Amino acid sequence: MKENFPVNWIANPFVLSSGTSPAVNEIIPAGISRLTRSFHRQIPGYRISPLKSLPNLAAMMGLGGIWVKDESVRLTLNSFKVLGGSFAMYRFVQSRLDMEHLEIPFSELTSDAIRQKLGDITFATATDGNHGRGVAWAAKAMGFRAVIYVHKFTSQARIKAIESSGAEVHVIDGTYDDAVRQVTVDAQQNGWHVISDTAWEGYEDVPRWVMQGYTTMLNEAQEQINAQGIIKPTHVFVQAGVGALAASTIGFYHQLFGQDDPVAVVVEPETAACLYRSVELGDGSPHTYPGDLDTIMAGLACGDPSPLAWDILRDCADAFLSCPDYVAAKGMRVYGVPLAGDPFIVSGESGAVTLGALMFIMERPELADLRDRLRLNAESQVLLINSEGNTDPNHFRRVVWDGADQVPAEYKETH
């Protein structure tokens, strides 16, 4: 890996060359997005998030189209994460009531009758911000208590956003992965129920439900792309922390199209590239990325991959990228200062890294081999997910106003 180079990449040697992925069929079964969307559309305030086109930027880069699913407006929460947490809590309630095969209307889910059957329930999770806020918000909407664990690098803005939904927040002296381990121990001692987007041995149902919940967003996006006369995106670039969003996105399209699915690219911070490292080590298993995971991409600062997500990504992702922080910062600024005629998009650090990576891939002569391998050209219709908006205003201003994390001079555009 070349240090501080805009994009380091590795092709996936494990990707399936024929057939469909057993992991996808198990975790993202056919028709699941219709069930998740049926649930989510009942939540008060639900709206389809916009799919925005950047035609002028695409033309400048030599691409056929760039499409951005903008989750910065999802339920006023600035992130897609609530889709996963809320659906997992719903499935937990179904299971608790022995009603797995019956759809429970949201109005009934929040009724006194259901509350009496369930008793007092506390949901808990570890987060670097967005997932915890989504769980806290969903718990409050459904009438439950929430306890959220964050790591010591979590900004005060993200902590206050979680607390604004009525959750109790605990700050752990360690990384996100340390917070995951601590909340698991404390939940067992206190009788809380963990709603995590990462899996471990003996804990797979809830992370599976979380990943399934994300497919509402993808069902919307596919419907919106079809409305533009496009059967499917040719490429999907998706960011990854533990890998749940990436696996849900890539698995959704594999379930729909099999071997005709879009070219799938996973993008990580270079200081928290656990999936990249897992491919690099070459034994087909997920591996931890060591260190303090220090990156401005707080939502992606994860050292331990989710085994469930890894199974899908191992089968279906075509390439894995790792990028320094300035790639995400560039993406934020380009979204915020678009070419004339392209829409303005508010994107946080974790939301913007895929755009930054795509731009460097199309600009840098050193990445010509990657462009060719991915078949990025004037026919390409690329789907990106703006997974978060301005979730940390102070840092957002440092990047967008003050120019923090600037592109090194040797990698700036010359045209």
**Exposure string for 91-105, b = 16+ CB within 10 A, e = fewer:** bbbbeeeeeeeeebe
Contacts of 403 (CB under 8 A, 6+ apart): none
**Exposure string for 245-270, b = 16+ CB within 10 A, e = fewer:** bbbbbbbbbbbbeeeebbbbbbbbbb
Q: Is 311 part of the annotated catalytic residue set?
A: no
DSSP 137-156: HHHHHHT-EEEEEEETT--H
Beta carbons of 357 and 321 less than 8 angstroms apart: yes
Q: Is 81 part of the annotated catalytic residue set?
A: yes
Nearest to 32 by CA among 262, 254, 305: 254
- Catalytic residue (choose from 81, 197, 311, 325): 81
* Residues 55, 415: Cα–Cα separation, whole Å: 19
Six token digits for residue 61: 């880069």
Nearest to 172 by CA among 164, 183, 163, 188: 183
- Catalytic residue (choose from 128, 197, 261, 311): 128
Q: Sign of torsion, CA 320 322 328 331? A: negative
Catalytic residue set: 81, 128
